[in-house]
Amino acid sequence: MDPTSPFAIADAPPLDPAKFRDPLITAKGEPRASVAMTGLETLWFNTGTLCNLACKSCYIESSPRNDALVYLSLAEVTAYLDEIAASGLPTREIAFTGGEPFMNPDMIAILELCLSRGFATLVLSNAMRPLRRHEDALLALNAHYGRQLTIRVSLDHYTQAVHEAERGGNSWDKAIDGLQWLATNGFAIAVAGRHLAHESDARARAGFAALFAQHGLPVDVGNPLSFVMFPEMDASADIAEISTGCWDILGKSPDAMMCATSRMVVKHRGAERPTVAACTLLPYDPGFDMGATLAEASRSVSLNHPHCARFCVLGGASCS
């Protein structure tokens, strides 16, 4: 994480280099926890890492110059939806992240495809210029499919100063204006927020609730379908590994983890075809590349990365 980010964790001890090295055994010699897929409920597509913003602590390093993950095409998305249909998978939701999804030239056609096949469809966006240049097309989709389409807008904080310290100057007013345009036109909207290291979850939620009330935005901070608060993800900071014994100690079930019910399709620059990553957080790590098809990607995931511990198991977070 960029130390100049307002969300950087001050004085975090560095990750023990002995941790997260063996996919089967922790540094203490205990069997590492893994998560079996219970059924593919959500299929994510990373539409490409190009973005109109360059945030200080983007976990996927999106920027106007980073095309490490290239744009997915309509044909490539269609192939995975066809596999869902042919295999009778229990997928109910298709979700999109980036980069900024609305920079992908096929995005509107891709949304039409997913919606026409009956999927609940979620798009993560910054609600800025890339989205706004598709206003007419989005209005048409919303008129036809209504609440089947949700657009989740990222607001890094409930204050302009912190949001722009992370996302850059002149990003706040445009994001708020985009949110208001979506709400005014009856779109199903959600917001993803964060809180500073010294802030409690309750204080941050209260700040966001006041912001939404000020702008007349129908976002309920107590409803996880309407508002999510993400924990920080700093892979360089030390964190406990998750062994098989941790499930009982923590009172958690592997079936509740994101990778029990979701996967993400990505296409690496220079690759002939897309592949499937274990989850939205780990698109670059070859240890979490699950293969080219959803069938190949249905195997268990070893929790062999700091994000598995900090975000999912200990943080209790999920992207959908």
Rounded to the nearest integer, the mean pLDDT of the chain is: 95
Q: Which of 230, 161, 223 is nearest to 194 (CA)?
A: 230
Distance CA 263, CA 32 (A): 20
- When pLDDT is averaged across residues 219-242 and rounded to a whole number, the result is 92
Is the per-residue pLDDT at 11 higher than 90?
Answer: no
The Cα–Cα gap between 156 and 134 comes to 23
- Which tens digit of pLDDT belongs to each residue from 114-123? 999 999 999 9
Q: Give the model's confidence band at 224: pLDDT under 50 very low, under 70 low, under 90 confident, else very high.
A: very high
Note the pLDDT of residue 219.
98
Q: What is the pLDDT of residues 106-156, one digit of tens each?
A: 999 999 999 999 999 999 999 999 999 999 999 999 999 999 999 999 999
- Write the pLDDT tens digit of every residue in 169-207: 999 999 999 999 999 999 999 999 998 888 899 999 999
d(CA 81, CA 98): 19
Work out the average pLDDT over 229-237.
Answer: 85
User: Would you state the pLDDT for residue 62?
Assistant: 94
Task: Render 225-284 in DSSP notation, one character per residue.
Answer: TTEEEPPP--TTB-----BTTHHHHHT--GGGSGGGTEEEEE-BTT-SS-EEESSTT-SS
Select the more confidently predicted residue: 234 or 262: 262
pTM over 0.85? The answer is yes
DSSP 207: H
